């Protein structure tokens, strides 16, 4: 008997996803698919709008990482207003944006770790769902919950000071930024009352990482064995190969670490990357043209970034990076759940960058915007917390957007997420007749490792409860479970 | 006969010169009555009705009604404020006002009135009309999604010969205020700035001027509309 198991929608993933699993009569997993059910709309409805609205309009895609969209759009518009392709801004413009972005990274990664993934590590993938959440953490490890909330708050305050609002600000404008940092704001972040200051954030980020490493040391087998599969990895890197989340050249490496995309200028991304449409999904599948549809897919996000970058330009994170790299003998890391490890190293890096930037007097400068010869087209890339984010706009003679193309991180990770789900389903569901809550959550853990923002990938909002439906080969519903 | 007359707004004794309209006289006496279509120094037309007050049991537009001696005006009452709130809501549903991505957000009088009357969500169904964005002018963008047909641009943006650069087009439900095609060439950067400033909403935008003024520095970011008028 062939069974079709449907898990929908996925919980603790922003947005709406659905997993279908097909089993043959021996109980073998035949096929798994992660369906993203909503449709894309933003690329269409920015058409006709004046170009300078894009950074404030398109960020509405997402309530978790709007800053990434805000900045990627602004970077694309820098090109359009003739401010260069990334290095042309004033020091104040560039550094204020960086501060905004690293603040965003810090809060988003903290949210992911403490609210979305720590419950799984603390209570187990098959732990009681009633407490396997942030409330459970607050009850059993209140200090951890407080850290999570305060780290998020610190990052959001940085965003407020740079973008004007914690969510959906207006700070980045074509060619620069609309405000500098006041001395009062800076001092508040540097010397604010405990725990809301930059030094404390660095030490808390280190503690969170140590917490994960401790957990890892006693659960190595489980973590390493979970959805481990080879892949290509893609991200921006600084020209010298350093990890850079705001700007750089585009690099991809294969599973052995060989460069397969050689530090290209991302204005030319269409020469190297193509998006495949598959009939069963609304979300496209990007791949590297040079390698082709079958094997050209890649991962983006924390795991990928630490695979493409050669070093991290802040000391504490660099030290951790070396320990982390040693686990795979310097080769690319393909362990799905090491995504969390990598994410925490990045969190530490973000805290260090924020602290260092705050000490930079350029943030207080008054030279905010540059403009040059107007261009018709521009591409803006940024490393969003969940991975590389592409914004591409073309305008007409009247300053209206006539074409927009967005490739969001979750779209970049479409194929690897599908593969991860497949690996997990094979490992835990093969031959099983009954779908337990633990199994359901394991599938979700695989998806959640990528921290997908399904709403941003597909541009819908909201979270819904989990539902699993089990069908026989004639599509008869034989079981349905809801969480 | 003295030119000064006495009248009352919500029971408060006021004094003004004969011939003044109620809104102006209220302002002189430190009382705020909301307006949208009205502009100081320009002949009032009474088209938006937001300035509605009650006099002798009758609803009147205070921007077009001159004060009379001994007049008793009801303005800041539950009934009148409720009415004004409905007008604001109707304006919101009859256009496409998406404040989050609007350059005028924080400087918009309609948005500010929405806050003043604590509009959470309009009680009327959205019309979601299909409207155009005219970006042909080198200096301005005219976004019909946001136009509330107040005519302030028609009344104040004129060329050297006194001809209005903006004009009505069509009628009834399709009525629009557009940049006059024949006079569009008369638009200057200075007039563009003035038009954007005089438009109470975000229907006239100066080209390439977006979000330069940060959040927190805009007119109604920290203080409610009318709060600068002190009794
Ligand atoms: S464009 Fe502005 S000023 Fe002109 S009628 Fe419309 S809302 Fe009024
Ligand atoms: S302000 Fe009086 S009717 Fe518009």
pTM of the model: 0.90
Interface test mutation site (partner A, options B107, B134, B135, B221, max chain A beta carbons within 10 A): B135
Of B210, B213, B215, the CB nearest to A53: B210
Give the H/E segment covering residue B222.
Answer: helix B219-222
Q: Quick check: is A45 in a domain?
A: no
Q: Quick check: is A125 in a domain?
A: yes
Name residues contacting ligand 1 (CB within 6 A).
Answer: B 147-153, 166, 177, 199-201, 203-204
pLDDT band per the 50, 70, 90 thresholds, residue A480: low
For the record, the structure tokens of A29 come out as 């997993």
The answer to whether residues A274 and A327 belong to one domain is yes
pLDDT band per the 50, 70, 90 thresholds, residue A10: low
User: Residues 6 or more apart from A159 whose CB is under 8 A from it?
Assistant: A67, A100, A103, A104, A107, A165, A166, A167, A169
* More confidently predicted of A433 and A427: A427
The answer to whether residues A31 and A152 belong to one domain is no
The chain B residue lying nearest A369, using CA atoms, is: B212
Range of the domain at A3: 1-38+431-483
Contact B207/A50, CB-based, under 8 Å?
yes
The answer to whether residues A237 and A309 belong to one domain is yes
The answer to whether residues A207 and A106 belong to one domain is yes
Q: What is the pLDDT of residues A232-250, one digit of tens each?
A: 999 999 999 999 999 999 9
Contact B211/A170, CB-based, under 8 Å?
yes
- Do B27 and B14 form a contact (C-beta atoms < 8 A)? no
Residue A9 has pLDDT above 70, yes or no: no
The answer to whether residues A100 and A209 belong to one domain is yes
Interface test mutation site (partner A, options B202, B208, B217, B221, max chain A beta carbons within 10 A): B208
Residue A359 has pLDDT above 70, yes or no: yes
The answer to whether residues A205 and A120 belong to one domain is yes
- In this prediction, residues B38-55 reach a mean pLDDT of 93
Is B144 near ligand 2, meaning CB less than 6 Å away?
no
DSSP H stretches of helix in A253-404: 302-308, 315-326, 338-358
- In this prediction, residues A440-455 reach a mean pLDDT of 69
Between CA B182 and CA B180 the distance in angstroms is 6
Ligand whose nearest atom lies closest to the CA of B150: 1
Contact B214/A399, CB-based, under 8 Å?
no
The answer to whether residues A150 and A233 belong to one domain is no
Contact B212/A178, CB-based, under 8 Å?
yes
Residue-averaged pLDDT of chain A: 85
Q: What is the pLDDT of residues B151-203, one digit of tens each?
A: 999 999 999 999 999 999 998 888 999 999 889 999 999 999 999 999 999 99
The answer to whether residues A200 and A266 belong to one domain is no
Q: What is the pLDDT of residues A73-107, one digit of tens each?
A: 999 999 999 999 888 999 999 999 999 999 999 99
Is B96 near ligand 2, meaning CB less than 6 Å away?
no
Q: Quick check: is A358 in a domain?
A: no
Contact A49/B133, CB-based, under 8 Å?
yes
Contacts of B215 in chain A (CB under 8 A): 163-165, 169-170
Q: Quick check: is A440 in a domain?
A: yes
pLDDT band per the 50, 70, 90 thresholds, residue A471: low
pLDDT band per the 50, 70, 90 thresholds, residue A258: very high
- In this prediction, residues A291-307 reach a mean pLDDT of 93
Question: Which domains, from first to last, does chain B contain?
Answer: 4-76 (3.10.20.740), 85-210 (3.30.70.20)
Contacts of A55 in chain B (CB under 8 A): 211
For the record, the structure tokens of A473 come out as 């080969």
Q: What is the pLDDT of residue A483?
A: 46
Q: Which amino acid residue places its CA nearest to atom 1 of ligand 2?
A: B35
Contact B215/A169, CB-based, under 8 Å?
yes
Residue-averaged pLDDT of chain B: 94
Last residue of a domain, one of A334, A369, A389: A334
Q: Quick check: is A425 in a domain?
A: no
Q: Which amino acid residue places its CA nearest to atom 6 of ligand 1?
A: B147
3-class SS string, A251-292: EEECCCCCEEEEEECHHHHHHCEEEECCCCCCCCEEEECCCC
For the record, the structure tokens of A129 come out as 């769902």
Q: Which residues pair with A336 in a beta bridge?
A: none
Q: What is the b/e burial string over B113-128, where b = at least 16 CB atoms within 10 angstroms of the residue's CB?
A: bbebbebeebeeeeee
- In this prediction, residues A355-365 reach a mean pLDDT of 96
Contacts of B136 in chain A (CB under 8 A): 398
* More confidently predicted of A383 and A407: A383
Total domains present in chain A: 3
Q: What is the b/e burial string over A213-223, where b = at least 16 CB atoms within 10 angstroms of the residue's CB?
A: eebbeeeeeeb
Instruction: Indicate the range of A70-79, A282-291, A470-479, B54-63 predicted with least confidence.
Output: A470-479
Q: Quick check: is A308 in a domain?
A: yes
Residue A460 has pLDDT above 70, yes or no: no
Between CA A278 and CA A286 the distance in angstroms is 11
- Do A224 and A281 form a contact (C-beta atoms < 8 A)? no
Contacts of A50 in chain B (CB under 8 A): 133, 135, 141, 205, 207, 210
Between CA B137 and CA A63 the distance in angstroms is 35
ipTM score: 0.90
Last residue of a domain, one of A300, A334, A368: A334
Q: What is the pLDDT of residue A456?
A: 40
The answer to whether residues A211 and A237 belong to one domain is no
Cis peptide before A195 (omega within 30 of 0): yes
Between CA B48 and CA A317 the distance in angstroms is 61
The burial of A404, by beta-carbon neighbours within 10 Å (0-12 exposed, 13-18 middle, 19 or more buried), is given as buried
User: Residues 6 or more apart from A235 whose CB is under 8 A from it?
Assistant: A250, A251, A252, A300, A304, A305, A308, A309, A383, A387, A388
Q: What is the pLDDT of residue A412?
A: 87
Between CA B203 and CA A380 the distance in angstroms is 29
Residue A439 has pLDDT above 60, yes or no: yes
Q: What is the pLDDT of residue A119?
A: 74
pLDDT band per the 50, 70, 90 thresholds, residue A167: confident
The answer to whether residues A147 and A163 belong to one domain is yes
Q: What is the pLDDT of residue A405?
A: 92
Q: Quick check: is A367 in a domain?
A: no
pLDDT band per the 50, 70, 90 thresholds, residue A477: low
The answer to whether residues A253 and A223 belong to one domain is no
The answer to whether residues A148 and A190 belong to one domain is yes
């Amino acid at each position: 008997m062939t069974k079709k198991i449907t898990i929908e929608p996925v919980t603790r993933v922003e947005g709406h996803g659905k997993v279908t699993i097909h089993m043959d009569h021996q109980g073998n997993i035949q096929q798994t698919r992660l369906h993203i059910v909503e449709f894309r709309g933003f690329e269409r409805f920015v058409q006709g709008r004046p170009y300078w609205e894009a950074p404030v309009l398109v960020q509405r895609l997402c309530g978790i990482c709007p800053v990434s969209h805000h900045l990627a759009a602004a970077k694309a518009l820098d090109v359009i207003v003739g401010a260069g392709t990334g290095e042309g801004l004033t020091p104040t413009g560039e550094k204020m944006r960086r501060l905004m972005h690293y603040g965003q990274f810090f809060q988003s990664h903290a949210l992911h770790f403490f609210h979305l993934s720590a419950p799984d590590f603390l209570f187990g993938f098959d732990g009681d769902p009633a407490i396997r959440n942030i409330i459970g953490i607050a009850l059993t490890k209140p200090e951890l919950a407080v850290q999570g909330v305060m780290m998020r708050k610190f990052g959001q305050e940085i965003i407020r000071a740079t973008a004007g609002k914690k969510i959906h600000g207006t700070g980045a404008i074509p060619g620069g930024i609309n405000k500098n940092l006041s001395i009062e704001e800076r001092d508040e972040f540097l010397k604010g009352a405990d725990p809301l200051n930059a030094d404390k954030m660095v030490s808390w980020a280190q503690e969170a990482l140590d917490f994960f490493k401790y957990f890892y040391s006693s659960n190595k087998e489980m973590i390493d064995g979970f959805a481990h599969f080879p892949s290509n990895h893609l991200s921006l890197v600084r020209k010298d190969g350093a990890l850079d989340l705001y700007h750089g050249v585009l690099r991809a490496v294969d599973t052995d670490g060989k460069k397969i995309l050689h530090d290209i200028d991302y204005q030319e991304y269409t020469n190297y990357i193509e998006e495949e449409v598959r009939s069963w999904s609304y979300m496209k599948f990007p791949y590297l043209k040079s390698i082709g549809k079958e094997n050209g897919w890649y991962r983006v996000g924390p795991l990928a970034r630490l695979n493409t970058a050669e070093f991290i330009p802040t000391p504490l994170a660099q030290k951790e990076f070396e320990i982390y790299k040693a686990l795979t003998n310097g080769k690319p890391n393909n362990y799905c759940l090491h995504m969390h490890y990598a994410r925490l190293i990045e969190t530490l890096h973000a805290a260090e960058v924020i602290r260092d930037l705050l000490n930079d007097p350029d943030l207080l400068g008054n030279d905010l915007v540059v403009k040059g010869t107007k261009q018709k087209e521009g591409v803006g890339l940024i490393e969003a917390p969940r991975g590389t984010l592409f914004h591409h706009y073309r305008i007409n003679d009247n300053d209206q957007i006539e074409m927009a193309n967005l490739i969001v991180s979750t779209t970049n990770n479409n194929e690897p997420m599908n593969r991860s789900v497949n690996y997990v389903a094979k490992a835990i569901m093969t031959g099983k007749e009954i779908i337990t809550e633990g199994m359901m959550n394991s599938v979700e853990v695989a998806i959640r490792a990528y921290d997908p923002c399904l709403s941003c990938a597909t541009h819908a909002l909201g979270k819904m409860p989990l539902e699993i439906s089990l069908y026989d080969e004639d599509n008869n519903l034989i079981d349905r479970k809801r969480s | 006969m003295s030119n000064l007359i006495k009248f009352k707004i919500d029971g408060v004794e006021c004094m003004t010169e004969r011939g003044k309209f109620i809104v102006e006289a209220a302002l002189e006496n430190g009382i705020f009555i909301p307006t949208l279509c009205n502009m100081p120094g320009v002949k009032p037309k009474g088209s938006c009705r937001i300035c509605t007050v009650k006099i002798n049991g009758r609803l009147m537009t205070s921007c077009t009604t001159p004060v009379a001696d001994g007049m008793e005006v009801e303005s800041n009452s539950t009934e009148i404020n409720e009415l004004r709130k409905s007008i604001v809501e109707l304006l919101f549903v009859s256009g496409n006002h998406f404040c989050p991505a609007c350059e005028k957000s924080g400087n918009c009088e309609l948005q500010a009135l929405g806050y003043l009357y604590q509009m959470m969500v309009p009680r009327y169904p959205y019309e979601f009309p299909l409207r155009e964005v005219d970006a042909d002018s080198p200096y301005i963008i005219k976004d019909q999604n946001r136009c509330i047909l107040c005519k302030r641009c028609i009344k104040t943006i004129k060329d050297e010969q006194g001809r209005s650069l903006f004009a009505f087009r069509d009628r009834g439900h399709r009525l629009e205020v557009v940049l006059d095609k024949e006079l569009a060439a008369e638009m200057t950067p200075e007039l563009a700035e003035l038009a954007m400033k005089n438009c109470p909403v975000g229907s006239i935008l100066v080209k390439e001027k977006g979000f330069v003024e940060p959040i927190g520095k805009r007119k109604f970011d920290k203080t409610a509309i009318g709060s600068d008028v002190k009794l």
